[in-house]
Structure 1
Amino acid sequence: MNRIAQGLVLTLLGVAALSCTLASDLYLNYVQGAFRPFIVGAGVVLVVLGVTAIVMDLRQARRGPEAEEEHAHGHDHGHDHGGHGPRVAWLLLLPVVAVFAVAPPALGAYTAANAASSAPRDVSEVSYDELEAEPGQPVEMELQEFVMRAWTDEERAMAGREIRLTGFVVANPEGEGWYLARLQMACCAADAIVNRVLITNEPAPPEDSWWTVEGSWVEPEGGLQEIRDHRFEVHQMTEVDNPPDPYE
């Protein structure tokens, strides 16, 4: 790989970073939205470095063989700094191919079925706002909040309330009903954990399809933190498009 090729690889990497942040929301499939400025900054730096390397090498080529000999002579004192990098550097093109040709989707049902579930917190460390909704409308909640309330809200404020949740469908490997799930990540897709509710009163839609469901929490009889699956009784459900940001 010569210096022009090295510059081209850097430029393509930078363009890939910029295209998935400035031209689309593709980056949300892999990291939190707060990382967008850092990815944009890294993309700009890579493009500048790549273009600079290409321009400098082209200028040197235009100066003729004598300039190339001077350049080579100046780098031959004790070290070999030839114009060719290791062939393994071509592997840097794989992220570019992934973004432009493959565009891996967000994590979905397969990951949710195998990812670690969110764990209950210490009740003393959790506080909740009042559940508010427009008159005659259900309470709009994220699955993350629903699951945490179902585990830790000793006042059971969700009992008897009409609630609206949105998530994707995950099959229940144990055979009873199906899960409405949403992945939650702290930093990137690699650390994602799953929040889910078990639905048994409606047939399972196609796996990985997105739905908004309205219904009620099935209040458990025992202690909250002893419950493994949080049950949700669906009163109405509507299929929706995949959201731009699939994570919570």
Structure 2
Amino acid sequence: MNRIAQGIVLVLLGAGALSSTVFTDLYLNYVQAGFRPFLIAAAAMLIALGATVIAAEARSVLRGEVPVEPAGCGPGHAESGGHGHGAPRVAWLLLLPVLAVFVVAPPALGSYTAENASTAAPPREEEAHDELGEPGSEGPVEMEIQEFISRAWTDEKRSMEGKTIRLTGFAVPNPEGEGWYLARLQMACCAADAIVNRVLITDRPEPPEDSWWRAEGTWQPPEGDLRSVRDHRFSVETLEEVEDPPDPYE
């Protein structure tokens, strides 16, 4: 692969990163929203570097400073893999992963990861929590699964008990066979460090794997030490299927 082809690869990589951050929210499948400016800057640098390489090589060719050889020509080429700017034709296959970025974008992590990834660990100490819900407000309390789990583990006052709570997440089968999980993945930086927050639901039929649901119901407080519970249970009052959110992580 000659330098012009290398420049094309850089431009395509930059264009792929730029299209997933400027024109869509696809980047939220892989990193936190705060990384967007850095991704845009990196994409712009790749495009600029690729364009510079292409322009410099094109000028050299036009001036006759770089001999243009068809790939595979010349004696001994097959044995040595090419000389100068020539290269085996198979090297052009390196473009396929780059082009795949525009055609097949990897989806966000889902139920497979939630089944196999580590779950959030109980905090060692009790955490301070804000007042549950807005003062004087009626209706269910909207809450992230992350906050629900944190309160269930650490709130010794059990302020969630008896309150109607609304959670949104995706369906995950329970490998142990009892009920299913409503889960959400939490990441600090990127999808590689994601951990699972989940609640166990046993009073509703298991929906399709990876489908997204909004559940309203109540926490089923355990007896004894809150931190000893592996999966906190959620009793469902209403269950509504929803569209996948733009940002699937918490």
Q: Which TM-score applies when normalising by structure 1?
A: 0.88
The aligned amino acid for 2:225 is: G
| Secondary structure of the corresponding residue to residue 228 of structure 1 | coil
- Assess, with a 3 A threshold, how the Cα gap between structure 1 residues 43 and 135 changes in structure 2: closer, same or farther: same
Question: Superposition RMSD on alpha carbons, in Å?
Answer: 2.0
The residue that corresponds to 2:32 in the other structure is 32
The residue that corresponds to 2:104 in the other structure is 102
- Give 1:148 deviation, angstroms: 0.8
Contact 1:29–1:107 (CA<8 Å) still a contact in 2? yes
Cα deviations across residues 141-176 of structure 1 (Å, max 9, x unaligned)? 000000011111111111111100000000111111
- Assess, with a 3 A threshold, how the Cα gap between structure 1 residues 19 and 241 changes in structure 2: closer, same or farther: same
The residue that corresponds to 1:127 in the other structure is 128
Q: Are 1:211 and 2:213 an aligned pair?
A: yes
Contact 1:13–1:93 (CA<8 Å) still a contact in 2? no
The aligned amino acid for 2:104 is: V
- Assess, with a 3 A threshold, how the Cα gap between structure 1 residues 87 and 147 changes in structure 2: closer, same or farther: farther
- Assess, with a 3 A threshold, how the Cα gap between structure 1 residues 9 and 123 changes in structure 2: closer, same or farther: same
Structure 1 distance, partners of 2:66, 2:111, is 57
Contact 1:3–1:85 (CA<8 Å) still a contact in 2? no
Structure 1 distance, partners of 2:85, 2:161, is 70
| Secondary structure of the corresponding residue to residue 162 of structure 2 | coil
Q: Which range moves more in the overlay, 94-103 or 1-10? A: 94-103
The residue that corresponds to 1:72 in the other structure is none
1:88-237 matches, within 5 Å, as 93=95, 95-124=97-126, 126-133=127-134, 135-237=137-239
**Stretches of structure 1 lacking an aligned partner (at least 5 in a row):** 70-80
Contact 2:18–2:44 (CA<8 Å) still a contact in 1? yes
Q: Which TM-score applies when normalising by structure 2?
A: 0.87
Q: Are 1:56 and 2:63 an aligned pair?
A: no
Structure 2 distance, partners of 1:198, 1:191, is 23
- Assess, with a 3 A threshold, how the Cα gap between structure 1 residues 214 and 25 changes in structure 2: closer, same or farther: same
Contact 2:12–2:99 (CA<8 Å) still a contact in 1? no
Cα deviations across residues 7-41 of structure 1 (Å, max 9, x unaligned)? 10110110011011111111111111111111111
| Secondary structure of the corresponding residue to residue 149 of structure 1 | helix
- Give 1:187 deviation, angstroms: 1.0
Q: Are 1:45 and 2:52 an aligned pair?
A: no
The aligned amino acid for 2:181 is: Y
The residue that corresponds to 1:5 in the other structure is 5
- Give 1:85 deviation, angstroms: 7.6
Runs of 4 or more off by more than 4 Å in structure 1? 84-92
| Secondary structure of the corresponding residue to residue 181 of structure 2 | strand
- Assess, with a 3 A threshold, how the Cα gap between structure 1 residues 52 and 204 changes in structure 2: closer, same or farther: same
Cα deviations across residues 86-106 of structure 1 (Å, max 9, x unaligned)? 989767645523421211110
The aligned amino acid for 1:33 is: A
The aligned amino acid for 1:17 is: A
Q: Which range moves more in the overlay, 54-63 or 133-142? A: 133-142
| Secondary structure of the corresponding residue to residue 16 of structure 2 | helix
- Assess, with a 3 A threshold, how the Cα gap between structure 1 residues 35 and 231 changes in structure 2: closer, same or farther: same
Number of equivalenced pairs? 234
Contact 2:32–2:189 (CA<8 Å) still a contact in 1? yes
- Give 1:60 deviation, angstroms: 1.8
Structure 1 distance, partners of 2:173, 2:181, is 6
The aligned amino acid for 2:144 is: E
